[in-house]
Structure 1
Amino acid sequence: MKAELRALTAVRGIAAWLVVLFHIRLSLPALPAPAAAVIDKGYLAVDFFFLLSGFVIWLSWGERLRIGGLGAAPEFLKRRIARIWPLHLVVLGFGLALALVLLATGREAPHFPLGELPLHALLIQNWGFTGALAWNDPAWSISCELAAYLLFPLLVLAIDWRRAPTPAILAAITALLTLLHMIFTLQGVAAQGDHIPRLGMVRCILEFASGTAVCALWLRWRERWRAPALFSSAAGIAAIGIWIVGLLPETLTVPAAFAALLLALALTSGKAGNPLEGRALHYLGEVSYATYLGHFLLWFAFKLAFVSDARAVAWPLIALYCVLVLASSVALYHGVERPAQRWVNGLSLRRPRPFRAPGSGSAHG
């Protein structure tokens, strides 16, 4: 197992909180225009998650699956399921409790369609089976991640980034993200976060695959990191600037910018003076999956309990909600996510050998 890149863990925590703020943006009091603009685009953090996921999975499992072949795939999938599924089921159970409370008190629960619950429990809700987000909205991306995990062993066996020349890897990233842009454009979609039930899967798969190629570049350049880090940082910032001024569309520039910035962050991880290496930010990243998966339904329940006008929530209540999100993230991480992960990872996928009494060997032995 490769050593952790702490800066990437920290950025994951920051990205998760951008998603939190995005989901409560319509309830926030007035903000300065730049801050409001950033929060309005908080859904783009999911694109960074997909790229980061491909990077980390390639780093952790690419070599193991290449050596073990498809025979190593069950262990890989078991460990990925251990990572995403138990916490998802617990949070979905909280959503079911909310739905039952609403129905028991005579209120409608249109966001909790009981007929779709099995799809959500199996994490296949965003595989083309539903036409709208429901239950725990952020879990759509986890549904797509599960599909990416199922495809990943085939990707490893089909492509060995180690043998590809650097220009070919850069061309592959460009081609994947250009294809993503073309698909969105052909569908008449200008924003990455639109039409998630229809386009979320392709968004995940192509960015996940791009993330694996970004990891290949990091593995190639990590020892002579300064020039590549400077170039990728400049490229990412330039792409963001081009998008902000409206010269190129979001669906083309933002994934490319995030890929470049992911490479820069990885190359500078662990270097002296990196502000993302601090303990607090790192811990925020460690509990970020619980933050990401738990905040949406917590906000739903919070509004039921404390909010009379969802479009005018005072700062003290916003602060209280954020404290509850952080506290619940810590509780879910230590009380559910990690213990369940250890338990599932400890399960053996090997069939036990049949018991043979002494002297009962084969007649041909």
Structure 2
Amino acid sequence: MSKPGELRALTSARGIAAWWVVLYHVRGALAGLPAIVEAVLAKGYLAVDFFFLLSGFVLALSHGERLRAGGLAAVPDFLRRRVARIWPLHAAMLGFALALVLILHASGRATPEFPLRALPAHLLLVQAWGFADPLCWNDPAWSISCEVAAYLLFPIWIAGIDWRRAAPPVVLGTIVVLLSTLAAAFALRGAATLGHDIAHLGVVRCLVEFAVGTLLHSLWQRRPSPRAGVVSFGWATLFATAWGMGLVETIAVPAMLAGLLLGLACTAGIRGNPLERPLLHRLGEISYATYLSHFLLWFAFKLALVRTATIGWPMAAMYLTLVFAASVALHRWVERPAQRWINTPGFRPWRSHLLTRRSPRG
């Protein structure tokens, strides 16, 4: 069942993007991939850019008005809800990683992928802020660390300018400036693709694309029509073509994905939209669990079952089934209960702990 105000097509698109990341990480082990499929999967890291844009759009949709109306008083509840959304599952996956470390140590194997000195920064989700190597422990969590920075700045961005009142040319011009700034930042670091130099550019990449997502939401609010969707898809196609003809990825892809996102939003809810179907929507609902679990599951899967450089399709199907099943289980038994608990009015875990200790029944 859809949540109030949810655009089902965007939820489904998030699920597809999550599985693009999964296949990106395992593509090197899949035997016999056609060249064109390999080329598509090799660009799976770009799904993260779609996530950043989508996150800005969805938070503007779900929390923008509430933050504008509530001011500073609404910020703690917003941040609590974001913590409830991202941190419990992240902590659970770090717990799984620690279990892997103990198993490897017991067997006398080194664990360079899990440096203990970096664990506190990863636990606090600040690893991408320059406090630790963001690509260790659970590698995909680097983007969640970047999103935390965006969450902290989002109330200021929303309160600073009401983009709904700005003229469309001003909004579009601001998008152009932001995306140009992003491309310039990558050029200064000598990075030709968006997946390079995550340690230095990951937060910048997130903040810019997140901000663009909020601006796309302000455009969508004005005219969420199929005709506007066609224009947006045309924008996306234009930049996709330019990318194929040699336009640098750091310029072409964010603009292409922005057009795609706005087009999907404008055509959401249209009868017959394939992204409205229940199965795809379900993939979107469990996509966060898919994204955060697949990398460590692949590590454990290889550790337990893989003895060669590549695997056949039966083994690949086994792994992908494992990821899907784990996503369903984690969403049902970790994500949702934790969100309900933390989002309960008056939630005070420390107070509950003290009351438990003082209880005569304890």
TM-score range, shorter chain: over 0.9
- Percent of matched pairs sharing the same residue: 58
Equivalent position amino acid for 2:164 in 1:
R
Match of 1:333 in 2: 331
Distance 2:226 2:29 in 1: 43
Greater C-alpha radius of gyration: 1
Instruction: Say if 1:53 and 1:208, in contact at 8 Å, map to a contact too.
Output: yes
What is aligned with 2:39?
Answer: 37
Aligned residue in 1 for 2:258: 259
User: Which residue pairs with 1:226 in the alignment?
Assistant: 226
* TM-score, length of structure 1 as denominator length: 0.93
Q: What is the CA distance between 1:215 and its match in structure 2? A: 0.5
RMSD: 1.1
Counterpart for residue 178 of structure 2: 176
Q: Residue 341 of structure 2 contacts residue 347 of structure 2 at CA under 8 Å; is this kept in 1? A: no
Q: Among residues 343, 346, 351, which one is paired with 1:345 in the alignment?
A: 343
- Equivalent residues of 2:134, 2:142 under 8 A apart: no
The Cα shift of 1:101 comes to: 1.0
2:271 maps to what in 1?
A: 272
CA distance in 2, matches of 1:220, 1:34: 39
Q: Which ranges of 4 or more aligned residues in structure 1 deviate by more than 3 Å?
A: none
Q: Partners of 1:346 and 1:131 in 2: how far apart?
A: 34
Deviation at 1:281, TM superposition (A): 0.3
Matched with 1:113 is 115
What does the per-residue CA deviation read over 1:254-283, in whole Å, with 9 as the maximum and x for residues that have no partner?
001000110000000000111111000000
Asked if structure 1 preserves the Cα contact closer than 8 Å seen for 2:186 and 2:250, the reply is: yes
Q: TM-score, normalised by structure 2?
A: 0.94
How far, CA to CA, are the matches of 2:248 and 2:208 in structure 1? 18
2:214 matches 1:216: no
CA distance in 1, matches of 2:42, 2:271: 33
Structure 1 residue 198 displacement after superposition? 1.0
In 2, Cα distance between equivalents of 1:312 and 1:27: 4
Q: Which residue does 1:363 correspond to in 2? A: none
Q: Distance in 2 between matches of 1:72 and 1:162?
A: 20
Indicate if the aligned counterparts of 1:54 and 1:208 stay in contact, CA closer than 8 A: yes
Residue 138 of structure 2 is aligned to residue 136 of structure 1:
yes
| Residue matched to 2:243 | 243
How far apart, CA to CA, are the structure 1 residues paired with 2:36 and 2:232? 24
Q: Counterpart of 1:163 in 2: which secondary structure?
A: coil
Alignment of 1:1-365 (within 5 A): 3-131=5-133, 133-222=135-224, 225-246=225-246, 248-309=247-308, 311-348=309-346
Which residue type is aligned with residue 193 of structure 2?
A: A
State the AA in 1 paired with 2:55: S
Query: 1:130 Cα shift?
Result: 2.1
Post-superposition shift, 1:349?
6.3
Secondary structure of the corresponding residue to residue 161 of structure 1: coil
Q: Distance in 1 between matches of 2:4 and 2:177?
A: 28
**Consecutive unaligned residues in structure 1, runs of 5 or more:** 351-365
Q: Tell me the CA shift for residue 241 of structure 1.
A: 1.6
Q: How far has the Cα of 1:108 moved from its partner?
A: 0.5
- Conserved? CA contact 2:127–2:133, under 8 Å: no
Measured after TM superposition, the shift of residue 104 of structure 1 is: 1.5
Task: Indicate conservation of the 8 Å contact 2:5/2:62, yes or no.
Answer: no
Q: Provide the C-alpha distance between the structure 2 equivalents of 1:343 and 1:131, rounded to a whole number of angstroms.
A: 31
| Whole-angstrom CA distance in 2 between matches of 1:226 and 1:295 | 35
Q: Which deviations, in whole Å up to 9, do the C-alpha atoms of 1:202-231 show, x marking residues without a partner? A: 000000000000011111111xx1321111
Question: What is the CA distance between 1:120 and its match in structure 2?
Answer: 0.6
Tell me the distance in 2 between the aligned counterparts of 1:301 and 1:143. Answer: 23
**8 Å CA contact retained: 1:75, 1:349:** no
- 3-state secondary structure, aligned to 2:128: coil
Separation in 2, partners of 1:186, 1:131: 21
SS of alignment partner, residue 52 of structure 1: helix
* Deviation at residue 131 of structure 1 after TM alignment: 3.8
